[in-house]
Structure 1
Amino acid sequence: MASASSNKNKFYFSHFNIRSLCSDFDSFSDYVAAEAFDIYGLSETWLSEPLSSNNFKIHNYNLVRKDRDGRGGGVAFYVVNSLKFQVIDTSAQQSALEQLWIRTKINGKIICFGTLYRPPMANLASSLDDLENAIVSFLPDCDVVMFGGDLNVDMLEAGSPGCSAINQFFNKYNLTQLVQSPTRISQFGGKLIDVLVTSNPKLISDVQVINMDNISDHHLVLTDLDLQKNRVPISYRTYRDYSHFVLTDFVNDLFNVNWQNIFNMTNIDQMITFFQKNITDVFNIHAPLKTSRFSKPPAPWITDNIKFMMKLRQKALTRYKKLKTDTSLYEYKQLRNLVTSAVRNEKKLILNINLD
């Protein structure tokens, strides 16, 4: 299995309830070395603060973890070294849901990856509330959301209250659950409690459930994302360039047109043609037609007000570069933060409209 470092178009993301990283670390480390997926999301790591991350190093991977404050639980990521990422803060939550999120950029796409664990006795409604708060906080700023987790709800029991609540939550945010077969087998049968969820199922080409009974009684769930860089079709737009338009010069040239000629014409079509041609000729002098090439996709959240704010921000930056004073730096930062906040709010508004 190739990792993203050797194949930029394919990206492999997995989730595994390991039920103690300590007890089977060597076996898990060997598996990682053999398969080399890009991200391994783990739940029930059973790590605690006294246990140093140095004891759980895997070659070519970075470990980021979020231990439970107490016995058991815990979530973590092993992320391939070639991938730069940031941890997303989700500390403000009320339920017992354990979640860890990272943000990264691959082939121009901003992707937020998560790994989750909901303890069996944790209130499901409160857990979904905390998951919702986390997703809403970063959804407007990312292109793809992808997470795996053990929710301790059998997703094969479609009519159960727990399964219905989770599916309703997924539908609300246009999320798709990818795993379709049992992920934990016991003497009482199989249950699908380990999920993989994405906001863009079109990127998914394969989903696997892999038996890991030499390490845990949970199966590892794996998917690959096709992250080819989308080429935006190049378009050309023709418009009038008013950057050097001077109204007084424009009006003077209109007055200089010999409009009396129109009274010598008897054909109405000829009059209209004369009028249109002279108006157009004057416009072509003062606001000539210009054709530009556009290769960026439209951004509906960039409103006229935001464009105006961006101009003010750019002027403030230019002023700071010239003056190099604390006051000019403060003014620039204020405008920069104002633009960032406005763009984020517009994105959220568009997202809510689309959801409704």
Structure 2
Amino acid sequence: MSPSPYSATGEFIFIEVNVKGIKAVLGVVYCPPGVDYLPKLESALEPISADYIHHLIMGDFNTNLLVNSSSSTKLTSLVTSLNLSILPLQATHHNIDSPDTLLDLVITSAPDSIIAHGQCPAPGFSRHDLVYASYRLHTSKQKLETVLMRSMSKVDADAIRRDAASLDWDQVVSATTIDDKVAVFNSNLLTLYDVHAPLRLVKLKRPPAPWISKGVRMAMTRRDRAFHNYKRDRSDINWCKYKAARNRCNQVVRSAKRRHIHDNIIDASSADVWKFLKTLGIGKNPTKLTHSSFSGDDLNTHFSSASVLDPLIRSQTISEVTSTALLVPEVFVFSAVSDDGVRKIIHSIKSKAVGVDDISRLTKPRLRFATNGNNRRRYEKFHTLQHHISNKISNDAGIILREANLPPGVRCEEGPHLIPVC
């Protein structure tokens, strides 16, 4: 609001209008004659013009734009510098002994959004015409978010067991590198789940509501049934029954929400609390990162050859490194890992995110493997491979291979014949 006293300077008021998330500024201005109001008006319009996209400003500026004067030039220059436009009008102030003047203006930042504008005479109470404008705020329809999901609840364990047994799992062991082993393992796993739990496109029409339990659904059903009865017979009794069912349903929903929020934050850490609040729509949306097209080797090559070291600094660094006493490294060996150990490690992963391999934690624990035969070396070699794979595909859980001694006679060259079971 402009400062007082009245007529000492320009007066103006601006309000923010929010239409379905789109914000616009409406302003009304009155500038007394013979007063230099432009500095005050400029200081008020500058932050508004920068913070908003849609502006509609009207008022009596008491500056005649039909004549070329210093005041009219300053006003038009101010409006132009703020990326605003003055809509064309005829003379809006009608005089008896002098020519009519254009004092009442309509200013906007988006002339294309003006549907109609103009002026109407009001001889009954003023010499000024009433100016008007119709502004269109286009609110685009909210696009539904679509995600790819697998329905794991309807997987037939017997069917996936049969199909898993028919796959060639020996390639996992015969692969020469861990990356190749993981690639073959993931390929077989995805082949199974593409058949038994295929990806399907799901539109998220509303935010998730995990607090909706069986009791909440029953209360909603009673409410809807009571409203349907009232629509068929609009009596006072049915209306009272509907209100009672509606109020009861609202109470059950509020209680379920409070219970759900309380159970998730009561003993949670700060990080888990914020993660939970984001599921409720509180906080900033996470930034989606795109995977780079270059590998880790490319990064190492770039940074190792990006700059040329000074010869003196290089020699000093090499001298310090070579003079440092070498630490005796500990022996790193693999240990035999049980099926339960692998499943426990995978279950310890809290994130449900799908990685670059298109596999989430929810799919990994559902498939386990066994070996046929009593070859101890193959058996333990296979479980060592399982631990390799678990470590590779579960690196977000910070899993580390244990350092221990293998049983006597166990080597890591041979591979077992694998039979996958569920």
Does the TM-score normalized on the shorter chain lie above 0.5? no
TM-score w.r.t. the length of structure 2 is 0.35
TM-score w.r.t. the length of structure 1 is 0.41
Q: Radius of gyration: which is bigger?
A: 2
- Pick 1 or 2: higher relative contact order, CA cutoff 8 A, min separation 6: 1
More strand by share: 1
More helix by share: 2
